[in-house]
A and B are shown apart, each in its own frame.
Chain A
Amino acid sequence: MTATTTPTSPTPFSVRSGGARQLAGTGTLLRFNLRRDRVMIPVWVAVTALLVLSLPGSLESVYSSPAERADLARQLLTNSSLRATYGPVFSDSIGGLTAWRIGGYAAILAAIMSLLVVVRHTRDEEESGRQELISSAMVGRRAPLTAALLTALVANTALALLIAGGLAGRGASGALALGLGIGGVGTAFATLAAIVAQFTESARLAKGLTGGLLGAAFVLRATGDSATNDASSPLTWASPIGWLENVRPYADERWWVLGLFVAATALQGWLAYELAGRRDVGMSFLPTRPGPATGRLATAGALAWRLQRGAVLGWSLGFFAAGVAFGGLTKGAADLVGDNARTREIIERMGGQSGIEDAFLAAMAGMFGMTAALYVVSSVLRLHAEETSGRAEPLLTNAVGRLRWAGGHLVIAFGGAVLILLLSGLGLALGYGKELGPVLGASLVQVPAVWVLGGLAVLLYGSSPRLAVGAWGVAGAALLLGWIGPALDVPQGVLDLSPFGHLPKLPGGEMSWGPVMVLASVAVGLVAAGLLALRRRDMTT
């Protein structure tokens, strides 16, 4: 969308004129943003905070004596692949172990929330054309960006306070340092997203690029931490997630490190404002490249692949890389876990009662399965996005039946699930260094359960587009149940509600075809019922 403004007043005005007026309307926009995010931000903040606050209790039940914790901390520090995954441990107190185990991951969740919020209220608004309408009102030039950053600041502050308050019982200053550090990573990525959003015309690309930078920050920290055991590597210092470690919550907090977050936020924010002031609404510094004048796409299936191939590629790479990482972790983690009866019990509930290494691999394969359910749901719901955006309707007025149109996307959804699980298994076996066959089997045995959740998404979407988002809820519940259920002593009856609860625990366990076949038939039935419903209902726009 092109929008150029030509000053028609006789006196040319400067972009820099009228300081306060540039912010006119910021308060209104901020309230408006918070209202639009009234579900997303509270849920995201609450889940992240709960993840942190639930940890001390389970750590206490697993490592009840100080001696056990000291032993754990000693082992953790000597294992470089564990340091790469979680960072070094600085204190064997419950608070210190909490910060070690979850701090970095909570910070990543805060960063994702921040980048989504900022891009949603800046580039998304411009891309959709809504920004033009807003900017034509009594709204200052800098108000939309300011309001977006303030929205992210409000969310991160709430998260920091929740964590600081909730952990205060384990040591108030450590809790405050951890909360502020996690919120600090969030705000640093909020302003980083604001910079990236100036460069792309596409909001999706802005989110992807900032997400990529977040991934790079994680890799920097992981590489640095695998080399040193006190987070002193320059690589770790180059990553905001590394700063959080270097604040050292619960281990003689180094408060001055928090200043880095303030400095980064200020510097990046200033840069974002400078860049935003030098471009027109809707334009970007990296304009969209032109495409071909003629096309070779000839079928609805080819179009579906064209639309989804980027996502399939991303999930494939992610699953393979994570597989290699977790595979490499297996030996060390198994040793560590094997020493503690309680953790061993949890892992065995997740992965089966065989050798601890097999159980760990089985638990990881299960985690990949549950995560693959998120892929299959997002891929199936592409149909929903195509329909509600109005793109499906003209497509279906060509000689393309609804089943053929949906079929193209479903092949990618259900086939893609097999592909990424296969790649995760390959990665696990590669990282572990042995047992290729059994590990691949463990990954592929997840497929029927993943398909059941995909089939449910097809049924919900096929019955009514309004129900479609419910598929996210079901997949999320299955993930949560499988992830933290075993640690929380959730009864088996409840765990069995998830299709993943019925899968044989491979490798190590006995392969049982019964439940696998049942799940596969349930999946086929759900897909068939969903397609039948889709064929019978009205298309909506």
Chain B
Amino acid sequence: MTKAITVSGLHKSFGKTHALDGLDLAVETGEVHGFLGPNGAGKSTTIRVLLGLLRADSGAAQILGRDPWADAVEVHRRIAYVPGDVTLWRNLSGGEVIDLYGRLRGGALDKSRRADLIDRFELDPTKKGRTYSKGNRQKVALVAAFASDVDLLILDEPTSGLDPLMEEVFQRCVEEARDRGRTVLLSSHILSEVEELCDRVSIIRGGRTVETGSLSDLRHLTRTSITAELAGEPNGLARLPGVHDIDVQGRRVQLQVDSDKLDAVLRSLTESGVRSLRSTPPTLEELFLRHYQDDAQADAPAEGALPR
């Protein structure tokens, strides 16, 4: 597979704040890539560098095989972008904005696809700028993006303000885009959305990439929690490598274990005889909270690094 986006060692400062501090990112063509991190981690800054709106201080970035800054216009013909906070012109209707964006990307929109999307998102295209609610303004940008025939969709917290039904419509649209061979970079805080849609994710904090890989890869890096009722006394569990937070009450055991050290724990448990066993894989929330909390401890000053 070729890469739709490659970023390596990206640096960007705004005055004294280092928004990006050597960030790396690789998005394969045809995948839905989740882009995660706490507020102020540098997600939007990265995206704005990729869109040629900001110029990186150092490091390399390529998007669709081109330079995002020098070849901005050529690149933009093949991408669609949805910001997290859509602002519209007060005297232009939503339909006018959708068609304008379509034409500015290099061609009129497919009429039936446009109509279908407006229908599915339940958008009234005749309303004007300011009369749309937050969620409806997002829908205008989403319809414009999904209706255009582009290779790469860059979505920066695109579903903020959408209700759960529309969230569902959005997820179907992303899946359809992937089925048509499109690449999607999805920055989001809605973890169920990420879990549902993304083939791979990158987690960043303090302007650096801290984790990247498929969700199952990432799960391996975290802990499974185990609750077991044993036939006999537990035997030497606490000394096993990778075991944490162990709590033994008689024959009942609760513990957490690094996912790659699971085998030894299970062997030890079966030696004692298992009456009941509950094993909970790490939830995405736990996964992220671990990174986010580390972030809060390690990079507290980076908070608010993004210009807004």
Contacts and interface: CB of A to CB of B under 8 A. Distances in A.
A291 B91 CA distance: 8
Contacts of B80: 397
Nearest to B148: A398
B54 A538 contact: yes
Interface in A383-420: 389-391, 393-401
Contacts of A536: 55
A417 B104 CA distance: 28
Contact of A541 (B95, B101, B126, B308): B308
Interface centre among B52, B91, B105 (most CB of A within 10 A): B91
A297 B103 contact: yes
Contacts of A303: 100
Residues of A contacting B: mostly: loop
Interface in A171-213: 201-202, 204
Contact of A294 (B83, B85, B95): B95
Nearest to B74: A399
Contacts of A291: 91-93, 95-96, 126-128
Contact of A399 (B54, B77, B95, B130): B77
A298 interface: yes
A1 B131 contact: yes
B297 interface: no
B289 interface: no
Nearest to B54: A538
A391 B127 CA distance: 17
B307 A540 contact: yes
A293 B53 contact: no
B98 interface: yes
Contacts of A125: none
B72 A401 contact: yes
A398 B93 contact: no
A299 B93 contact: no
A357 B85 CA distance: 58
Contacts of A299: 103-104
Contacts of B93: 290-293, 295
Contacts of B95: 291-295
Interface string B73-103: 1101101111101111111110111111101
Interface centre among A204, A306, A394, A539 (most CB of B within 10 A): A394
Interface residues of A, number: 40
Interface string B33-75: 0000000000000001001111100000000000000001110
Interface residues of B, number: 48
A288 interface: yes
A300 interface: yes
Contacts of B86: 394
Contacts of A35: none
Contact of A295 (B81, B90, B96, B130): B96
Interface string A276-317: 000000000000111111111111100100110000000000
A390 B76 contact: no
A2 interface: yes
A114 B130 CA distance: 25
B146 to A, nearest CB: 15
B97 A295 contact: yes
B106 interface: yes
Nearest to B86: A394
A21 B202 CA distance: 53
A345 interface: no
B96 A294 contact: yes
B112 interface: no
Nearest to A537: B55
Contacts of B216: none
A398 B130 contact: no
A127 interface: yes
Interface string A355-394: 0000000000000000000000000000000000111011
- 4 interchain residue pairs of minimum CB distance: A291-B93, A295-B96, A398-B104, A290-B126
Interface of B: 48, 51-55, 72-74, 76-77, 79-83, 85-93, 95-101, 103-106, 124-128, 130-131, 133, 141, 154, 307-308
Interface of A: 1-2, 127, 201-202, 204, 288-300, 303, 306-307, 389-391, 393-401, 536-541
